[in-house]
Structure 1
Amino acid sequence: MSLPRQRRIRTLAVLFCVITFTTFLFSYTFRDPSLYFLKYASHLSDSFFSKGPCACQQCMVEVEDDPWFSEHFNQSIHPLMSRENSVLSDETFKWWQWLQSERQPANFSEVVEELFQVIPDEVLYMDSSPERCRTCSVVGNSGNLKGSHYGSLIDSSDFIIRMNQAPTSGFEEDVGSRTTHHVMYPESAIDLDNNTSLVLIPFKTLDLQWIISALTTGTIKYTYLPVMSRIKANKDKVLIYSPTFFKYVYEAWLEGHGRYPSTGFLSLLFAIHICDEVNVFGFGADQYGNWHHYWEENRLAGAFRHTGVHDGSYEHNVTLLLADKHKIQMFKGR
């Protein structure tokens, strides 16, 4: 046998061995649970760099992160809806429509098209500068804010997220005066100033029709309860909480506990996905164990805690775990 022919045979034999070994290695890798951390590291790297640089002292997504957080956190799901991401999977659409069932819902695609003729078809602006440190204050409505003197600390954040009624007038020393994003649904709607973004959490197609109506004709006055027919808000700053993100919060973070997440928990996860540093105020009971709103005089009020649709205990435990893992900082007030 000629020397060149022998070399070709040897080369093919070596190549065959390499391919066989590589195939076996990859097959074993994806079967072996002990190699979870290799896949975890790869996933973490992707999610970290997709969020962009962060110059905070403690950033939401770190290169060396926590496996529990990485397992739950999915940066690829955007919290806000646009035309581009408005198409819902059949599974998501059925789950979302089930939340507050409508007998004869309007055509979802047609409503979305009309919606983005009234409000901007854009998502929240994200600063990607090298020195960026985007800070958020998520301000709940707990009575533990009374006498807390957190106002100036809350107002120092870049984004200040409030929810539902949340008055600030007369309570500035404890809750601050600035609001950049106000999260609500039709049945909890209030008027906003021109500088605040309205973040609508829709539970059904009718809720999207309501915001269109509330910013234009005022024809919708009832959902399953009487609602404001018109609302004062800057329509150029109206944002829609994505049903896809809504379902992700319920499944990935609450693991199916309760019927659906509370407005407070949805607001918290919104902040976790748009900010590098998140401070949380006004969540939980006051120092005496009472559940009430900071603007209420009656400390024994707070039937809102027993709505039957939220698993408040599970949400609270997840929130405490996020704080324990230094993903958020909780200010417990008084």
Structure 2
Amino acid sequence: MKPTHKLLFVLCPMLVLGFIYYSSGKLRLHMWGQKARKCSSSIYKRPYAFISLYDKQGFLLQLDTKLPLELVYKYGNLSEGTCKPGYAAAKMTAIFPKFVKPAPMFLDRNFKRLAKVSNYFPPFGFKTQERIIDSILAATKNYGLGKELDGPGCRRCIIVGNGGILFNKSLGSRIDDYDVVVRLNEAPVAGFTKDVGTKTTMRITYPEGAIQKPENYEKDSLFVFSAFKSLDFKWLRQMVLKEKLRGIEGFWKSVAHYVPREPSDMRILNPYFIQEAAFQFIGLPFNDGLMGKGNIPTLGTVAITMALHNCDEVAVAGFGYDMNKPHAPLHYYETVKMSAIKESWTHNISKEKEFLRKLVKANVITDLTNGI
């Protein structure tokens, strides 16, 4: 074989292989470029990057009011105004997959089995308070809402906040249409029924927030106690057993000396709702599981959390702090201004509002006053 033929014999395969390599490289670059362009929106930072569908708390990033496909069949054909069984929990699970519905509303005689709260001090649990809680529950003897509301029927609940946004909205009759009407602390009904309604199923409070004038209590409502510190349980035991109030030095303001309710009408709210709202839903600082600066949810958000676990449909009214209006009334029943909320060291209003907006945007809850 001539030398030139030998050279061509060697070069030709090399040229062919080089062409194939070059072509395949161009092909790879072209395909990579297509993928990169596909992922070039503001959400995507680089090709093939892991893109989470959920925020750091575990909530779906893309929220809307549409029913997920798996819920359309169950709820899509129900007529408007019909109570939708399990709706709030189903919608909550759709946007927050970690949500688990079973969580008793109130503590009962088996409360020590509640593992999620047994290892935390108040307000996130009941550690060190077991004996005093036992004595309180032995006296109250009832641990539910009552025969009518504890049945298997569909339950529509509304949490009535204390916000000034309620004033002059004439929502009283709509609020009274709900099966369960939850009110908070000392917010009055008398004199404001046009806006806040007349019905009260339960009033959730803590010692410093409880109504101090016995005549201002509604006749047929449950007194639901929410503890934020160990001293609160001592106060509750004295209220349940109708004892003379003693040891009030640890409260940050004056407290009620008497609650005009029979023990059978008094309940202890499950502290799990405070824990879940603070750390799972809002993302407040854990602070070693102790109450600290900016890590306590407002009682309104605690009540909403309770309702998500125990009601089929959940609505709110009187929620929302507009910090751009510092001179607007903070509450519907008094002249304290919005700016006063800035002085609170226990709450993080902006993070809490962010959480509540997720619930409204995804139609997990209905906001009658559009304040959230």
TM-score by length of 1: 0.72
Other structure's SS at 1:161 match = strand
Aligned length: 276
Does the alignment pair 1:135 with 2:160?
no
Q: CA deviation at 1:272?
A: 1.6
**What residue is the counterpart of 1:68 in the other structure?**
95
**What residue is the counterpart of 2:316 in the other structure?**
280
Does the alignment pair 1:304 with 2:330?
no
Contact 1:214 1:231 in 2 (8 A): yes
1:141 alignment partner AA? N
Other structure's SS at 1:96 match = coil
- Report the Cα distance in structure 2 between the residues aligned to 1:106 and 1:135, rounded to whole angstroms: 33
**What residue is the counterpart of 2:295 in the other structure?**
259
- Report the Cα distance in structure 2 between the residues aligned to 1:229 and 1:106, rounded to whole angstroms: 26
**What residue is the counterpart of 2:165 in the other structure?**
144
1:85-104 to structure 2, matched below 5 A, reads 85-86=111-112, 92=117, 95-97=120-122
- Superposed CA offset, 1:144-168 (max 9, x none): 1111000000011110001011101
Q: CA deviation at 1:93?
A: 5.3
- Superposition RMSD on alpha carbons, in Å? 3.3
Does the alignment pair 1:270 with 2:311?
no
Query: Structure 1: 5+ residue runs without aligned partners?
Result: 1-32, 35-43, 49-54
* 231-240 vs 318-327, greater mean Cα deviation: 231-240
- Superposed CA offset, 1:223-253 (max 9, x none): 3233222211232121111223321222221
**What residue is the counterpart of 1:218 in the other structure?**
244
**What residue is the counterpart of 1:294 in the other structure?**
332
Contact 2:103 2:310 in 1 (8 A): no
**What residue is the counterpart of 1:83 in the other structure?**
109
- Report the Cα distance in structure 1 between the residues aligned to 2:97 and 2:201, rounded to whole angstroms: 28
**What residue is the counterpart of 1:51 in the other structure?**
none
- Superposed CA offset, 1:18-61 (max 9, x none): xxxxxxxxxxxxxxx99xxxxxxxxx99xx9xxxxxx6248213
Q: CA deviation at 1:115?
A: 0.8
For the pair shown, the structure with the greater C-alpha radius of gyration is 2
Does the alignment pair 1:160 with 2:181?
yes
Identical columns (%):
25
In structure 2, the CA distance between the partners of 1:65 and 1:162, relative to structure 1 (3 Å rule), is closer
Contact 2:118 2:127 in 1 (8 A): no
**What residue is the counterpart of 1:324 in the other structure?**
361
Query: Structure 2: 5+ residue runs without aligned partners?
Result: 1-50, 53-69, 75-81, 286-293
Q: CA deviation at 1:270?
A: 1.4
Other structure's SS at 1:70 match = coil
- Superposed CA offset, 1:131-150 (max 9, x none): x3211111001111111000
Q: CA deviation at 1:266?
A: 0.5
In structure 2, the CA distance between the partners of 1:138 and 1:99, relative to structure 1 (3 Å rule), is closer
- Report the Cα distance in structure 2 between the residues aligned to 1:70 and 1:124, rounded to whole angstroms: 28
In structure 2, the CA distance between the partners of 1:231 and 1:221, relative to structure 1 (3 Å rule), is farther
**What residue is the counterpart of 1:26 in the other structure?**
none
Contact 1:200 1:238 in 2 (8 A): yes
Other structure's SS at 1:250 match = helix
* 160-169 vs 73-82, greater mean Cα deviation: 73-82
- Superposed CA offset, 1:52-103 (max 9, x none): xxx62482133x87543332x22133232112023565x8456434779xxx
- Report the Cα distance in structure 1 between the residues aligned to 2:124 and 2:207, rounded to whole angstroms: 14
Contact 1:193 1:233 in 2 (8 A): no
**What residue is the counterpart of 1:240 in the other structure?**
268
Q: CA deviation at 1:184?
A: 0.3
Contact 1:293 1:302 in 2 (8 A): no
Contact 2:155 2:312 in 1 (8 A): yes
Contact 1:144 1:332 in 2 (8 A): yes
Contact 1:99 1:259 in 2 (8 A): no
**What residue is the counterpart of 1:119 in the other structure?**
140
In structure 2, the CA distance between the partners of 1:310 and 1:201, relative to structure 1 (3 Å rule), is same
TM-score by length of 2: 0.65
In structure 2, the CA distance between the partners of 1:106 and 1:322, relative to structure 1 (3 Å rule), is closer
**What residue is the counterpart of 1:56 in the other structure?**
83
Other structure's SS at 2:158 match = strand
Other structure's SS at 1:160 match = strand
Contact 1:220 1:229 in 2 (8 A): no
* 187-196 vs 285-294, greater mean Cα deviation: 285-294
Query: Equivalent of 2:231, from 189, 206, 209?
Result: 206
In structure 2, the CA distance between the partners of 1:333 and 1:65, relative to structure 1 (3 Å rule), is closer
Does the alignment pair 1:179 with 2:200?
yes
